[in-house]
Structure 1
Amino acid sequence: MNVLTTGLGWNEQQPGGLNRYFVDYTNAMKEYGHTELGLIVAEPGVELNTSLNVNNTATNASGLLSRIRSVRAHALQSLSTFRPDVFNPHFALYASMVSRQSLPDHIPIVTHFHGPWALESKMEEGGKPRIVREARYLLKKQVEQLTYRRTDRFIVLSEYFRDILSNNYGIDHSKIHIIPGAVEHERFKPHPDRPALRARLGIAPGQKLLFCARRIVHRMGIDRLIDAMQAVVREHPGIRLYIAGDGPMRSKYEQQIVRLGLSANVRMLGRVSNEELVEWYQAADYSIVPTITLEGFGLVTIESMACGTPVFGTPYGGTSEILRQISPDLLFKDGTAEAMSGKLINALRGQFLLPSREACREHVLQRYTWSSVAGAVTDVFRDAIEMRSKGGASR
């Protein structure tokens, strides 16, 4: 079928979970046999380096409203040039001007809910006055609800996001389908010569390496992980923690590392390439996901395990749903620095049996492949199309 998708940005310019999911999802749906047309907003005039049918709708830099209108214009134009069977938005803001009335009745809207955009934004705007944050939050939530009210079916990546969508936006459970994310398992895989890789990355034989890949914002819990390393380093002076990613809190966390005297053990790598990301997963002894809240799935969790590396994570959201299936021992008791340091110290002491590198990869291959995601999404599309054909429109 012809699937019209709208996303956020382009992953090569704006790395992040939603943008990476959008690229991999579009490729998986193409391989499954669908014809996809993706609309995103990258830097104005930028040509996307991809074989996928994804268009950059940005034509100028005149502001947010013009970008939303540009997505709308491209979407409406596609009704005659592309003739979609399904409209599949992945970001509420850029889909907000594509009204139900602008689409033919037979085309269902199936929305991927990647998280509460308004609430996430509010949490990341902690430096602004409260009245400003509240006003911006309410406006953004109204935009989300406008988009969601016209949606026929929803796809979420976890039970956690299903509950947020239901409780925060009033969406009935019967409209929500849980389809977990997936990983490119041919790219994220164990290294054929891990000792040689570790040597090239400057990791000494027997030296323990922890790795964390996160967007550097407050809710990701990076500051608590850095605090936790004080106790870990006291017992294991040679241990290393490398943190990949960028964001507004990076400078503050770099200062925290220096203030705590951890510069020899903790290093912030900044933004890394996709190839480098795979290598750090492959080289690490453990990956860490210290997110405090709003972890809808945790793509980094399954990426690491696909490379054979066990993951320790906080017992929240999608991280908990993934890790509790393979071993409850991989979950911290809570999101405090004390819980993280205690668990990591006990693991380094060998006080409990962790899943092997082979078991980690097999866990991913059995549950989180793109072919299974594409099949499950197709079933939702077919259900929505059939509902529309019978006049069961969602108004």
Structure 2
Amino acid sequence: MSTLTGIDLPLGSPGGSVELLYDLYLGPEAPIDAAVFMLAPDRPRGGAAGGPKLLDVPGKQLDGPSFWSYVDNLATALGSTFDEDSFDAIHLQHLGFGATPALLKAFPEHPRIALVHGTDLLFAADHPTQREVLLRSARLADSIVVPTSAMADLVREMAPVGPDRIVRVPWGIPDRLLSDPPVRGPSARDSFRVLYAGRLTAEKGAAELIAAVSGLPDLTLCIAAPEHEFAALSATVDTAGVEYLGWFDREELWQAFARHDLLVVPSTTLEAFGLVAVEAQACGLPVVYQPVPGLTEVLGDSAARSDARSLADTVRSLQKDDAALADLRAAGSRNAARFPLSATAAELESLASQVRR
């Protein structure tokens, strides 16, 4: 069964939903046959072979009449770019934002499976138009896929969706990472390297992490994040003691995992799944996380738990305890093995066959 899917973000945008899009549908090893679209970036750049179809649709908005004008233009672009007879199902990569209502308008007769990410629900809570989009998309989707039971609970809180239409399918990490992770080098014991990797929006807890551990003796806090987000964070938080690494592509991030001693995931609110943490575990990097919904379900006891108040003590304790780090590495490797991308793809393909009209 062939699929049409996409995200209305410019090519090269960061984020877990974009990484999952690439893993599932793009590139030579993508397990799901799909036509994929994204938006053309503001600055022209060469697209990689097997990359998404880039749509030049300006005017992206979140609220008000201008949002619906943008959706109309995006639907028109989709209808002129993709032949409705060339695919069997639509995968909606969000319940919100512009791509989902545009796909629903452009191709109203195809079966629709919606994949829910945390940003859908966060933006629906803060933007009236996005709440409207979420409610309508939830009503029209044939099945709504969530990666954790915590996400299922939150979807049901926000939209009147029957339990039979919500399906839990855990996200996955590339099988090749599980079978052939990067080789870890010896730790540089003169400096314990702690890594934060990901977006720097407020709910991710990076500011609290910096306050807790930056400046601890014999410890280097490293941050891998989009450059503009690190610059914005530095305008409000003292990052003088932080080693900024830039924003890595996927393979570079995996290599970075192998060069660090600990990954900290200090998110302060629900996480949809926590792909970065699971990928780090696959690379042999121990993880400390704040026990918020989603992360507790995915990581459980395979990683160390710590709230913001005890984070410095937790990190210092692990810094001094090689045996505890070794135990976390072993537990993390076993946990990561539970989430192969091939299993995610197989469940999505099976679900698409069930909802086919």
Alignment TM class, shorter chain as reference: 0.7 to 0.9
CA distance in 2, matches of 1:182, 1:156: 12
TM-score, normalised with respect to structure 1: 0.77
Asked if residue 361 in structure 1 is aligned to residue 337 in structure 2, the reply is no
CA distance in 2, matches of 1:321, 1:348: 26
Alignment of 1:62-73 (within 5 A): 62-64=59-61, 65=67, 67-73=70-76
Answer whether contact 2:273 2:294 (CA < 8 A) is retained: yes
Task: Give the aligned partner of residue 298 of structure 1.
Answer: 274
Task: Give the aligned partner of residue 37 of structure 2.
Answer: 39
CA distance in 2, matches of 1:306, 1:10: 29
Asked if residue 221 in structure 1 is aligned to residue 192 in structure 2, the reply is no
Distance 1:30 1:69, change over 3 A: farther
CA distance in 2, matches of 1:285, 1:101: 48
Task: Give the aligned partner of residue 382 of structure 1.
Answer: 353
Task: Give the aligned partner of residue 149 of structure 1.
Answer: 139
Q: How many residues are paired up?
A: 346
Structure 1 residue 118: Cα displacement: 5.8
Letter in 1 for 2:237: Q
Residue identity over aligned pairs, in percent, reads 20
**Structure having the higher Rg:** 1
Alignment of 1:105-144 (within 5 A): 107-117=110-120, 119-120=122-123, 137-144=127-134
Structure 1 residue 180: Cα displacement: 1.4
3-state SS of 1:241 partner: strand
TM-score, normalised with respect to structure 2: 0.85
Structure 1 residue 55: Cα displacement: 0.9
1:256 aligned to which of 216, 237, 240: 237
Alignment of 1:1-395 (within 5 A): 1-10=1-10, 13-27=12-26, 31-32=30-31, 34-43=32-41, 46=44, 49-52=47-50, 54-59=52-57, 61-64=58-61, 65=67, 67-77=70-80, 80=83, 82-91=85-94, 92=96, 93-99=98-104, 102-104=107-109, 107-117=110-120, 119-120=122-123, 137-187=127-177, 190-192=181-183, 194-195=185-186, 204-229=188-213, 233=216, 237-246=217-226, 247-248=228-229, 250-253=231-234, 256-257=237-238, 263-264=240-241, 266-324=242-300, 326-327=302-303, 330-332=304-306, 334=307, 336=308, 338-350=309-321, 353-354=324-325, 355-365=327-337, 367-385=338-356, 388=357
Unaligned runs of 5+ in 2: 62-66
Show CA shifts across 1:148-193 (max 9, x none). Answer: 2111101111112111111112222211111111222535754336
Answer whether contact 1:58 1:67 (CA < 8 A) is retained: no
Letter in 2 for 1:224: E
Give me the CA root mean square deviation: 3.0
3-state SS of 2:49 partner: coil
Unaligned runs of 5+ in 1: 123-133, 199-203, 389-395
Structure 1 residue 313: Cα displacement: 0.4
Distance 1:322 1:193, change over 3 A: closer
Structure 1 residue 299: Cα displacement: 1.1
